């Protein structure tokens, strides 16, 4: 993979990014070799286009740095910056997951059907949160490749903590905005204006991916889903105008381990890992949404939000059980329950 994937003509990677990538990749290759592992892209005949088609080259000969072309050119509108970012960073993330690791997608037809939902119907996908690269890396790897090349319109809106991705003046904030990420303020409650923005995206028929656990967990457990996800669902007036797609995944916690003392978003990756993703059918919540005007939910809507959140939590937990059943002992025993909000 190294050296084979090129950005479109006229663009160049920042030298510091290249050096850092080469350093991490060399370390990962040495570790894989020491354990007798052959990475997929090291196998004879591997071609990057086998997991990601080549990108179309933009018109024009003016040479711009990748960062400048995405963030600093005032001629580019927000939508254009997002399309450029998703069309370039997305394929790189896809190559990382599919080319440097082993991705196994189970029941992916549920995702494909949701992506082909009727116009004006929102899509809310929910899953466990086990690594900093759950999004964008995993989502870029599981969607059809053509989705990344069509621009930003059909790709998901991500949700990231304001204290992580949206610190004023940080380069990460610019990356987040250009990658279709929306802020959320952890600890600010379910009536914060940031949730209103997410709801508006769903109401206009967009796809939003949401991590209901609220933070990264690498203990194998499904921790309680916070009631904010319940408010997202209940705020779309017509149940048929929203699909809620659950999925469960495992493996990225080994690719990108996080420790309690971690101060960096990224750590040295452990490549050659088997990553499994299992999708469920869209969850029918219409029977719960019919209760919005009934006591006690008409006076205390947060109670309904909690019921919806718990229902989705159980859906993801059931997918974990099903994945363990299909893979036998490959994943080990299902971790004991007992997760918390902490």
Torsion of CA 224, 243, 104, 2, to 10 degrees: -100
Collapse the DSSP code of 265 into the 3-class scheme (helix H, G, I; strand E, B; otherwise coil) and give the result: coil
pLDDT top residue among 59 and 268: 268
CA–chain centroid gap for 261, Å, is 23
Residue 273 domain flag:
yes
Query: What pLDDT, on a 0 to 100 scale, did the predictor assign at position 215?
Result: 92
Query: What pLDDT, on a 0 to 100 scale, did the predictor assign at position 328?
Result: 87
**How many of the other CB atoms lie within 10 Å of CB of 55?**
17
Cβ-Cβ contacts under 8 Å for 99 (sequence gap 6 or more): 1, 40, 41, 46, 48, 51
CA–chain centroid gap for 214, Å, is 13
Residue 292 domain flag:
yes
Query: What pLDDT, on a 0 to 100 scale, did the predictor assign at position 20?
Result: 56
Residue 174 domain flag:
yes
- Tell the residue number behind the tokens 């939902």, with chain if given: 117
Q: Which of 17-21, 89-93, 117-121, 257-261 has the lowest average pLDDT?
A: 17-21
Residue 246 domain flag:
yes
- List the domain range (segments joined by +) for residue 219: 103-327
Query: What pLDDT, on a 0 to 100 scale, did the predictor assign at position 9?
Result: 47
Res 180 pLDDT > 50: yes
- Where does the pLDDT of residue 11 fall: very low under 50, low under 70, confident under 90, or very high at 90 and above? very low
Percent of the chain with pLDDT over 70: 76
- 228-238 residue pLDDT tens: 999 999 999 99
Bridge pairing between strands 274-279 and 242-250: antiparallel
Residue 68 domain flag:
no
- Where does the pLDDT of residue 44 fall: very low under 50, low under 70, confident under 90, or very high at 90 and above? confident
Round to whole Å and give the CA distance between 320 and 213: 15
Alpha-carbon dihedral sign for residues 1, 128, 179, 107: positive
Mean pLDDT of the chain: 84
Extract the tokens encoding 80: 């254009």
Q: Which of 236-240, 315-319, 326-330 has the lowest average pLDDT?
A: 326-330
- CA angle at residue 59 from 57 to 64, to 5 degrees? 85
Round to whole Å and give the CA distance between 198 and 159: 8
- Tell the residue number behind the tokens 């037809």, with chain if given: 109
Mean pLDDT of 142-158: 92
- Where does the pLDDT of residue 5 fall: very low under 50, low under 70, confident under 90, or very high at 90 and above? very low
Res 75 pLDDT > 50: no
Query: What pLDDT, on a 0 to 100 scale, did the predictor assign at position 3?
Result: 46
Cβ atoms of residues 202 and 117 within 8 Å? no
Residue 4 domain flag:
no
Residue 76 domain flag:
no
Helices marked H in the chain: 15-34, 66-67, 78-99, 109-115, 139-142, 145-149, 162-165, 171-178, 193-203, 228-234, 252-255, 286-289, 301-327
CATH of the domain at 172: 3.40.1130.10
Query: What pLDDT, on a 0 to 100 scale, did the predictor assign at position 39?
Result: 67
Extract the tokens encoding 91: 């394929």
Round to whole Å and give the CA distance between 213 and 340: 9
Res 294 pLDDT > 70: yes
- Where does the pLDDT of residue 336 fall: very low under 50, low under 70, confident under 90, or very high at 90 and above? confident
Cis peptide before 296 (omega within 30 of 0): yes
pLDDT top residue among 32 and 274: 274
Q: Domain count of the chain? A: 1
Query: What pLDDT, on a 0 to 100 scale, did the predictor assign at position 244?
Result: 98
Round to whole Å and give the CA distance between 339 and 321: 16
Q: Which of 67-81, 180-194, 285-299, 321-335 has the lowest average pLDDT?
A: 67-81
- 213-222 residue pLDDT tens: 999 999 989 9
Query: What pLDDT, on a 0 to 100 scale, did the predictor assign at position 335?
Result: 77
- Where does the pLDDT of residue 128 fall: very low under 50, low under 70, confident under 90, or very high at 90 and above? very high
For residue 293, the 8-state DSSP code is: G
pLDDT top residue among 281 and 149: 281
Query: What pLDDT, on a 0 to 100 scale, did the predictor assign at position 273?
Result: 96
Res 4 pLDDT > 50: no
Residue 335 domain flag:
no
Res 66 pLDDT > 90: no
Cβ-Cβ contacts under 8 Å for 336 (sequence gap 6 or more): 221
Q: Which of 240, 160, 241, 157 is nearest to 205 (CA)?
A: 241
């Amino acid at each position: 993979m190294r050296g084979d994937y090129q950005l479109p003509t006229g663009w160049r990677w920042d030298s510091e990014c290249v050096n850092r990538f080469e350093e991490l990749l060399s370390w990962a290759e040495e570790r894989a070799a020491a354990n007798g592992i052959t990475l997929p892209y090291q196998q004879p005949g591997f071609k990057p286009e086998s997991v990601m088609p080549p990108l179309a080259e933009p018109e024009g000969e003016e040479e711009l740095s990748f960062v400048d072309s995405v963030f600093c050119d005032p001629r580019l509108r927000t939508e254009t910056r997002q399309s450029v970012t998703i069309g370039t960073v997305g394929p790189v993330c896809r190559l990382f997951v599919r080319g440097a690791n082993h991705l196994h997608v189970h029941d992916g037809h549920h995702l494909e059907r949701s992506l082909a939902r009727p116009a004006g119907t929102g899509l809310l996908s929910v899953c466990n949160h086990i690594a900093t690269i759950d999004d964008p890396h995993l989502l870029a790897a599981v969607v059809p490749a053509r989705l990344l090349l069509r621009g930003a319109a059909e790709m998901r809106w991500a949700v990231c903590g304001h204290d992580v991705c949206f610190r004023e003046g940080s380069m990460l904030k610019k990356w987040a905005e250009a990658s279709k990420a929306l802020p959320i303020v952890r600890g600010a409650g379910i009536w914060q204006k940031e949730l209103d923005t997410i709801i508006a995206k769903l109401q206009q028929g967009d796809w939003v991916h949401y991590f209901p656990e609220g933070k990264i967990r690498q203990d194998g457990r499904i921790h309680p889903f916070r009631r904010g996800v319940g408010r997202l669902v209940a705020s779309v007036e017509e149940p048929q105008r929203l699909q809620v797609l659950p999925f469960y995944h495992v493996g990225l916690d080994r690719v990108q381990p996080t420790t309690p003392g971690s101060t960096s978003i990224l750590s040295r990756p452990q490549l050659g890992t088997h990553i499994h993703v299992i999708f469920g059918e869209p969850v029918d919540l219409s029977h719960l949404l019919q209760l919005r005007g009934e006591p006690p939910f008409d006076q205390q809507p947060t109670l309904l939000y909690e019921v919806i959140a718990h229902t989705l939590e159980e859906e993801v937990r059931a997918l974990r059980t099903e994945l363990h059943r299909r893979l036998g002992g490959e994943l080990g025993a299902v971790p004991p329950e007992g997760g918390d909000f902490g």
